[in-house]
């Protein structure tokens, strides 16, 4: 056999490609991570600005809101009494000396007439844009009890909690059973039934509003919470699809092992499927909570009496009654969004895991 010389490629060294060396790769990774963190932080700040400004408005009074300040911290112009009237106090510069004077009135040409509070006889005319008002932090937490007692928000809150959590229990119960059936059992026409179920997603709620309203009216359920709760016990296509896709990722060998131990299909669902599908169940539960908590359309249609209203309808009515009291509207709005925020932070880890898993299951 003739010996052959095999030419092996010379390994790339860090000196040959310094930009691809260990330090270079580590630097690129750190730079990429820092850039990603910076972009996410900037996006988070932009998203949180409206929320922070809403909380700031809820802690102001009418005078502070009329001032039109864009400061996140509630500030109030300091006023002093001059000749029996309260006038705003400014930091001004007169002949190179800084002092505090009250704005008596505005003059033509963008100027203002300032007066020394200690000596009302002394006035001076200065350019108003060059002077800065004296401000102090002023917070009004009493806006919250005033807003929540102006209308029966406690009743609205109880109705919303009832509709949300009872409906959530019905949704989880029904959707889990239907999704389990579609993912684990095989029968002729099963796929066609599943496609028919999915087709209901494309049907707008407005199309079925009139027949559903007539049905509930004949049952005597209109102006009660039942039209908002009972339909949740009949599975909806969106949640069934998510749960079915997740259930299909659970190995069938677990079902077979449970059957060998004498487990029934319902026992397999309860002891095998449900514990393993916890992230997906939490995800659809949070989605349902957000939908039911913020739903305005159906409560407006089916609930006529004030004592049966939910938070969404009550807040809209409160907005119409107190449209000039922006601080009270903002206080009620903050109370409206607090429960979803608390729920999200309490279940954030499971929620994010469930979102990732369900997205993978959809693929």
What is the average pLDDT across 11-22?
49
Would you say residue 63 lies in a domain? Answer: no
How many angstroms separate the CA atoms of 205 and 110, rounded? Answer: 57
Distance CA 331, CA 321 (A): 15
Identify which of 69-83, 112-126, 170-184 has the greatest average pLDDT. Answer: 170-184
If one counts the domains in the chain, the total is 3
- The pLDDT value given to residue 144: 92
Instruction: Determine the pLDDT at residue 14.
Output: 46
Residue 325 has pLDDT above 70, yes or no: yes
Q: Are residues 116 and 184 in the same domain?
A: no
* Residue 215 pLDDT: 94
Looking at the structure, tell me whether residues 175 and 203 fall in a common domain. yes
If asked whether residues 245 and 105 sit together in one domain, one would say no
Q: How confident is the model at residue 5 (pLDDT cuts 50, 70, 90)?
A: very low
**Does residue 113 sit in the same domain as residue 252?**
no
Residues 186 and 243 reside in one and the same domain: yes
Range of the domain at 231: 144-362
Q: What percent of the chain has pLDDT over 90?
A: 37
Q: How far apart are CA 333 and CA 294, in angstroms?
A: 11
CATH number of domain containing 330: 1.10.3720.10
Q: Is 73 a domain residue? A: no
Of the pLDDT bands very low, low, confident and very high (cuts 50, 70, 90), residue 105 is: confident
Give residue 351's pLDDT band: very low, low, confident or very high (50, 70, 90). low
Query: Does residue 260 sit within a domain?
Result: yes
Average pLDDT over residues 272-283: 89
Tokens of 184: 């684990």
Same domain, 150 and 105: no
Classify the C-alpha dihedral 231-237-238-240 as positive or negative: positive
**Domain assignment of residue 23, yes or no:** yes
The predicted-structure confidence for 331-341, as pLDDT tens digits, reads as follows: 999 999 988 88
Together in a domain, 108 and 235:
no
What local confidence, expressed as pLDDT, does residue 3 receive? 46
Q: Do 151 and 285 belong together in one domain?
A: yes
């Amino acid at each position: 056999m003739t010996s052959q010389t095999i030419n092996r490629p010379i390994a790339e060294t860090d000196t040959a490609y310094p930009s691809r060396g260990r330090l270079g790769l580590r630097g690129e990774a750190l730079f990429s991570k820092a850039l990603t963190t910076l972009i996410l932080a900037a996006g988070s700040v932009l998203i949180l600005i409206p929320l922070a400004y809403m909380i700031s408005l809820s802690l102001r009074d009418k005078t502070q809101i009329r001032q039109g300040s864009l400061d996140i911290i509630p500030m109030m112009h300091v006023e002093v009494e001059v000749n029996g009237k309260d006038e705003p106090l400014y930091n001004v510069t007169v002949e190179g000396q800084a002092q505090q004077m009250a704005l008596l009135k505005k003059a033509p040409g963008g100027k203002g007439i300032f007066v020394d509070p200690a000596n009302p006889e002394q006035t001076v005319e200065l350019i108003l844009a060059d002077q800065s008002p004296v401000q102090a932090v002023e917070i009004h937490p009493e806006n919250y009890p005033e807003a929540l007692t102006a209308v029966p928000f406690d009743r609205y809150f109880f109705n919303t909690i009832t509709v949300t959590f009872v409906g959530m229990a019905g949704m989880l119960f029904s959707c889990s059973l239907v999704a389990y059936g579609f993912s684990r059992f095989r029968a002729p026409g099963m796929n066609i039934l599943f496609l028919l179920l999915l087709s209901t997603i494309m049907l707008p709620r407005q199309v079925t509003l009139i027949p559903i309203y007539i049905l509930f009216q004949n049952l005597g359920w209109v102006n009660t919470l039942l039209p908002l709760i009972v339909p949740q016990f009949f599975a909806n296509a969106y949640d069934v699809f998510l749960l079915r896709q997740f259930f299909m990722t659970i190995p069938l060998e677990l079902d077979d092992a449970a059957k060998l131990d004498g487990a029934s299909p319902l026992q397999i669902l309860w002891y095998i499927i449900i514990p393993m599908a916890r992230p997906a169940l939490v995800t659809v539960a949070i989605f349902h909570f957000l939908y039911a908590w913020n739903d305005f359309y159906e409560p407006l249609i089916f609930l006529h009496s004030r004592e049966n209203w939910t938070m969404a309808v009550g807040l809209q009515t409160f907005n119409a009654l107190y449209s000039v009291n922006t601080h009270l509207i903002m206080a009620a709005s903050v109370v409206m969004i607090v429960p979803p925020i608390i729920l999200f932070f309490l279940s954030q880890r499971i929620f994010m895991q469930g979102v990732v898993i369900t997205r993978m299951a959809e693929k």
